[in-house]
Structure 1
Amino acid sequence: MPRDHNGRVTVAPKEQLTRSSGRGRGALAAVTIGSGVAILDGSVVTIALPTIGRELDASLAQLQWVVNGYMLSLTGLILVGGSLGDRLGRRRVYLVGVGWFALASLLCAAAQSPDQLIGARVLQGVGAALLTPGGLALIQGSFREEDRAGAIGTWAGLSGIAAAAGPFVGGWLLDHGGWRGIFAVNVPICVLVVWLCHHYMPESRDEEATGPFDVVGAALGAAGLGALTYALTASGDASSLVLAVTGAAAVALMAGFLLRQARTPSPLVPLGLFRSRVFSAANGMTFLVYGALAAVLFFLVIQLQVVSGFSPMVSGLAALPITVALLLLSSRLADLSSRIGPRIPMTVGPIVCAGGVLLLVPVGEGTSFWTGVIPGMTVFALGLATLVAPLTATVLAAVADRYAGVASGVNNAVARAGSLLAVAALPPLVGLSGADYTNPTALTQGYRTAQLACAVLLFAGGVVSWVGLRGTGGRDVAVHGEGSSPADG
């Protein structure tokens, strides 16, 4: 197998992996399990917060930062993780991220105070930022072109399952190992991922990256995304002055980041990527759909517990249709999209999701779980399964392979920004603040308005796809959207 001048394995076209080979299956397992554990950890912790609060004597603000600290570092550094993988080797950076995530998980499990746990969660987010964009980039750089859509479909499906299964898995672990088990279980999983990578995953990188790494751009991007994340997530704790200053700083830092990317010869994010109509449309749809997805689940789980009277475990099971649909359909729908093009799946999927959300609007006091919740969630899940894999494949196929890590990092950052903005902005916009979430009457009114708003966002995502992805039939999307390769900025 050929190696570069540093002795690292490189991937020649004739050696690219196939999904049906043993090596291909092992490599795909490495990226899906590694990405899945990071995604699962982002959602599984929420259900454990009351237990953590009791055992560590944590305040509500501290419990919020157990979640927000992880999201802060993940969102702030995910672009850096994607770019480092392209330059230094995607497998190398992915493995560093997996190892970092495992060590941080041990620190979380051993935490003796709320502040220790928050610090460990911030470190855990750094590891997730290194490994999350690497999973998709490794698929794009390691599998042959005709197998990429199916491989990405498998990755997307299992990643979606990890996110949806979080509340259920968290409840089971709480019953059998306490809250520390939620973090400790990550360690053996990460060890398995490292073993799989070493045995099955070839190295890949952007061989054309010759300039120095954009340290200034990385700092501006991380600081800007971090400030934006803080401004969104601390709105209930910080003063108006602090929020205004933080928001202004986020705008200034992101403006500086964009200016830097336009002028440096070795940008962290080549702005020319956005000259691809397909890449821009796919990321616009990502922002709308993932923002709606996060808000739908956020409001639904609270509504089911406070108003409908279901337990946290049963409320978590409301996401079961998403798990089943993604498991059974993602790979098949990815193959279909590769044949007919992404425009129809990425248009129909969000609109079907919107229909499912409309079915969930009446959920309230006396709602039956099986007839009032599951039908709407099933329709929502079918729409989500239709759009997830084609969306991911389209983002990567719309740019040259050398930009796979950057493209994945951008799309992940956009998805998380959409989620953060929706969850932070919708409660006050629908009239919910303070302790209103404990008032069934106020909560129900806000819940129904929020779900209608989410349906509008999802429908808008379908419109963006229909307009932005015109002309993308079959494999045409692989030719950089409109047929022009993105420039470096």
Structure 2
Amino acid sequence: MSNSKVLALGVLSAAMLMTILDGSIVTVAMPAIQQDLGFSPAGLSWTVNAYLIAFGGLLLLAGRLGDLIGRRSMFLAGNTVFTAASLFAGVASGPGQLIAARFLQGVGSALAASVVLGILVTMFTEDGERAKAIGVFSFTGAAGASIGQVLGGVLTDALNWHWVFFINVPIGLVTVALALKALPNDRGIGMAAGADVLGAVLVTSGLMLGIYTVVQIAEYGWLSGRTLGGAAVSAGLIAGFLVRQATAATPLLPLRIFRSRNVSGANVVQMLTLSAMFAFQIIVALYMQKVLGYGALQTGLAMLPAAVAIGGVSLFVSAPLSTRFGARNVLIAGLVLLLVGMAWLTRLPVHATYVVDLLPMMVLIAGGGLVLPMLTTLGMSGAKADDAGLASGLFNTTQQIGMALGIAVLSTLAASRTGSQLTAGASEAEALTSGYRLAFMVATGLLVAALAVSFTVLRKPAVQAVSAPVNEPVALAI
């Protein structure tokens, strides 16, 4: 791998690190933010929801715009917006200012993250080289999540919550400066090739409303008029978008991309897997703090073995295994490891021992270090060169939808079970543990479904389509 490619990979990984770091570091700082700015309990959730709605809602549009006007330009714009919004968030003095800043952070993250994979797969065209690059990229994501949990506790305790946002500013400035030098200056295929304004309005509003509806389920309930109405309108907007894409001369999302079994299947598997992994990343942390009495920093340190396991496997093991056994087979092996680990968590006791009850899952979660790089490989394998940014945006969109569904479904089920157990006379610790175990059971079922889709839908990539020259027709991997 040449020095220029190493630098480019470093820039792309730094952008991913900043995005992932921001998500996990804010979670740890939320109690301090609530106390300082006077958030209500319901209002506090919008420090996460505002970001999630903007990020998930704009990814698909941003990915296509990256193909049209140039992925480098979109990457630079996104990182610039995100860095400025982080500074805005750090100096926020009220709830409204912070929520607005978090929404702008989501916009910036969507612009940058939507094209990162498109840039990566068009720069690294050889199979072995690409596998190593994807492994490094996945390692960065895993490291960012756990570093954020630890760093959030350190910064909040040693300084104050403002610094969980300020830390993004120097990272963002360096990333933009290096990106100007390291990333190829692609011009894109031109707005005339896909400037579907109506389609953009339909899909962006539909996704934003859909994600908004999902994250509000915990407050309003599954069968409330607000939830059902929002879901119906969102579904109608998405349906209108699909009809538009089937008839438009220059569609925003050419439906041909779904002819690839690998593109379609990998996105479905990703949604199921990330919905399930929410149970590990968030609910295990809640279990440690609310049931076992761990502090924020102690919880972050307890999660470090998982980061080491995922990062080590994605960085050093996934690429050689993919080359030898194929992405689909390695994906299935990783899903099996995750399934065993999640099933282990369904037996968590009220009085747990870390080494016996939690550490085994921290090791088995290494399966994520196989799953995430292989899903990236398969999800991008059927996209044409002109659609690399679109496929990247689609892949990131299903990632956010999976996370949003995991948050809504698993947390709501856990809260419902906890409430019923408290009503029945259980102690708070027993009720919480019962709710968390139910969430782990459902997460286990989601991983079973992900395995089923992997076996029946995914195939060995027939070609590395995104490595083809721009505007040259490429056969899809069916």
Identify which of 131, 139, 145 aligns with 2:126. 145
For residue 80 of structure 1, report the CA deviation from its aligned partner: 1.2
For residue 206 of structure 1, report the CA deviation from its aligned partner: 4.6
In structure 2, the partner of 1:71 is 52
CA contact (8 A) 1:299 1:447 kept: yes
Q: Secondary structure at the match of 1:267?
A: coil
In structure 2, the partner of 1:198 is 180
Number of matched pairs: 462
CA deviations over 1:50-101 (Å, ceiling 9, x no partner) = 0001111111111100110000100110111111111111111100000000
Q: Secondary structure at the match of 1:207?
A: coil
Distance change in 2, residues 1:207/1:339 (3 Å): farther
* Unmatched segments (≥5 aa) in structure 1: 1-19
In structure 2, the partner of 1:440 is 429
- Following the alignment from structure 2 to structure 1, what is the Cα–Cα distance between the partners of residues 182 and 343? 45
Identify which of 161, 164, 167 aligns with 2:143. 161
For residue 120 of structure 1, report the CA deviation from its aligned partner: 0.8
For residue 435 of structure 1, report the CA deviation from its aligned partner: 10
CA deviations over 1:446-466 (Å, ceiling 9, x no partner) = 111211211121122122112
CA contact (8 A) 2:332 2:454 kept: yes
Bigger CA drift: 23-32 or 233-242? 233-242
Amino acid of the residue matched to residue 442 of structure 1?
Answer: A
> 2:471 matched to 1:485?
no
For residue 321 of structure 1, report the CA deviation from its aligned partner: 2.5
In structure 2, the partner of 1:329 is 313
- Following the alignment from structure 1 to structure 2, what is the Cα–Cα distance between the partners of residues 348 and 189? 35
CA contact (8 A) 1:341 1:476 kept: no
CA deviations over 1:266-296 (Å, ceiling 9, x no partner) = 2221111111111111111111101101133
In structure 2, the partner of 1:413 is 397
For residue 443 of structure 1, report the CA deviation from its aligned partner: 1.4
In structure 2, the partner of 1:377 is 362
Identify which of 270, 277, 290 aligns with 1:306. 290
Amino acid of the residue matched to residue 341 of structure 2?
Answer: G
Paired residues for 1:102-141 under 5 Å: 102-141=83-122
For residue 433 of structure 1, report the CA deviation from its aligned partner: 6.7
Amino acid of the residue matched to residue 57 of structure 2?
Answer: G
CA contact (8 A) 2:218 2:408 kept: no
Amino acid of the residue matched to residue 464 of structure 1?
Answer: V
- Following the alignment from structure 2 to structure 1, what is the Cα–Cα distance between the partners of residues 60 and 289? 36
CA contact (8 A) 1:278 1:395 kept: yes
Q: Secondary structure at the match of 1:179?
A: coil
CA deviations over 1:112-155 (Å, ceiling 9, x no partner) = 10111001100110000000122111111222333222112211
Q: Secondary structure at the match of 1:219?
A: helix
Amino acid of the residue matched to residue 387 of structure 2?
Answer: Y
CA contact (8 A) 1:342 1:469 kept: no
Paired residues for 1:77-88 under 5 Å: 77-88=58-69
Amino acid of the residue matched to residue 105 of structure 2?
Answer: Q
CA deviations over 1:210-261 (Å, ceiling 9, x no partner) = 4351121111111111111111111244583322322211111111111111
Give the percent of matched residue pairs that are identical in Structure 1 and Structure 2: 35
Amino acid of the residue matched to residue 371 of structure 1?
Answer: V
Amino acid of the residue matched to residue 442 of structure 2?
Answer: A
> 2:329 matched to 1:344?
yes
CA contact (8 A) 1:205 1:402 kept: no
In structure 1, the partner of 2:345 is 360
Amino acid of the residue matched to residue 112 of structure 1?
Answer: S
Identify which of 156, 159, 165 aligns with 1:177. 159
- Following the alignment from structure 1 to structure 2, what is the Cα–Cα distance between the partners of residues 336 and 156? 15
- Following the alignment from structure 1 to structure 2, what is the Cα–Cα distance between the partners of residues 462 and 115? 43
Bigger CA drift: 86-95 or 338-347? 338-347
- Following the alignment from structure 1 to structure 2, what is the Cα–Cα distance between the partners of residues 82 and 160? 23
CA contact (8 A) 2:292 2:351 kept: yes
CA contact (8 A) 2:79 2:109 kept: yes
Distance change in 2, residues 1:208/1:397 (3 Å): farther
- Following the alignment from structure 1 to structure 2, what is the Cα–Cα distance between the partners of residues 261 and 118? 33
Distance change in 2, residues 1:214/1:486 (3 Å): farther
Distance change in 2, residues 1:318/1:225 (3 Å): farther
- Following the alignment from structure 1 to structure 2, what is the Cα–Cα distance between the partners of residues 170 and 97? 23
Q: Secondary structure at the match of 2:348?
A: coil
For residue 427 of structure 1, report the CA deviation from its aligned partner: 3.4
Identify which of 209, 213, 216 aligns with 2:195. 213
- Following the alignment from structure 2 to structure 1, what is the Cα–Cα distance between the partners of residues 197 and 410? 35
Amino acid of the residue matched to residue 450 of structure 1?
Answer: A
Q: How large is the Cα RMSD of the aligned pairs?
A: 2.2
Bigger CA drift: 433-442 or 83-92? 433-442
- Following the alignment from structure 1 to structure 2, what is the Cα–Cα distance between the partners of residues 264 and 169? 48
CA contact (8 A) 1:289 1:458 kept: yes
For residue 428 of structure 1, report the CA deviation from its aligned partner: 3.5
> 2:452 matched to 1:463?
yes
CA contact (8 A) 2:465 2:476 kept: no
Q: Secondary structure at the match of 2:410?
A: helix
Distance change in 2, residues 1:356/1:291 (3 Å): same
